[in-house]
């Protein structure tokens, strides 16, 4: 028995040394972006931008959307006679996940759970079993910042009530823009990511 213990001692020491020098992998944020556009004329288009970013350290995913006109001189806001309606949908690829979400419209305003009116930017949130939809209506034009919405969500498992790590976080958005002679809706722009 003593010989067996003596023979195993060096192996055990090497194994313990290897374990003590091994570090757990660090969690990293995952992000994705999506862009869609529709032509107004040969030189101008309406763009919809979407960004999704999940932070495992906070058990939370973040989203940001922004709409703009793309002109030969670069991105710009919308003219003063603009009326626009944007739809943002948050969802997962799993049927077992619901979104506990908040948003700000325009970005930087206090977080909302139901709806608000900030300087003629009207918004509301509609929740279902698995999806969250944010509807934003703009009366009047302005800079790109006025047409930017951000928010965050905790994708949560119906089964456990815990953050649904490992499931996909999907954000899609489109916008209908109406102003002098223009009435166009962008295709949906989507971003998809997850955290483990």
- The pLDDT of residue 12 is 38
CATH number at residue 144: 2.60.40
- The pLDDT of residue 122 is 97
Say if 20 falls within a structural domain: no
The stretches in the chain having pLDDT less than 50 are 1-28
- The pLDDT of residue 56 is 87
Domain with 175 in it: 30-194
**What tens digit of pLDDT does each residue of 26-54 get?**
344 589 999 999 999 999 999 999 999 99
What are the residues facing 34 on neighbouring strands? 50
Say if 181 falls within a structural domain: yes
Say if 85 falls within a structural domain: yes
Q: How many domains does the chain have?
A: 1
Q: Which of 61, 73, 87 is nearest to 153 (CA)?
A: 61
Say if 6 falls within a structural domain: no
- The pLDDT of residue 66 is 98
- The pLDDT of residue 29 is 55
């Amino acid at each position: 028995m003593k010989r067996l213990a003596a023979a195993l001692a060096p192996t055990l020491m090497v194994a313990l040394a290897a374990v003590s020098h091994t570090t757990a992998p660090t969690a990293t944020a995952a992000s994705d972006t999506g862009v869609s556009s529709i032509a107004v004329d040969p030189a101008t288009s309406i763009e919809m931008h979407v960004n999704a970013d999940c932070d495992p350290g906070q058990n939370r995913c973040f989203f940001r959307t922004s709409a703009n006109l793309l002109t030969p001189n670069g991105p710009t806001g919308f003219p003063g006679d603009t009326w626009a309606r944007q739809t943002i949908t948050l969802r997962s690829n799993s049927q077992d996940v619901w979104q506990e979400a908040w948003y700000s419209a325009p970005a930087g305003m206090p977080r909302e759970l139901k709806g608000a009116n900030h300087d003629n930017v009207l918004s509301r949130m509609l929740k279902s079993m698995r999806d969250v939809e944010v509807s934003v209506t703009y009366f009047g034009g302005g800079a790109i910042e006025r047409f930017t919405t951000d928010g965050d969500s905790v994708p949560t498992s119906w089964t456990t009530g815990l953050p649904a790590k490992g499931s996909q976080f999907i954000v899609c958005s489109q916008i209908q823009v109406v102003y002098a002679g223009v009435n166009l809706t962008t295709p949906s722009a989507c971003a998809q990511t997850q955290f483990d």
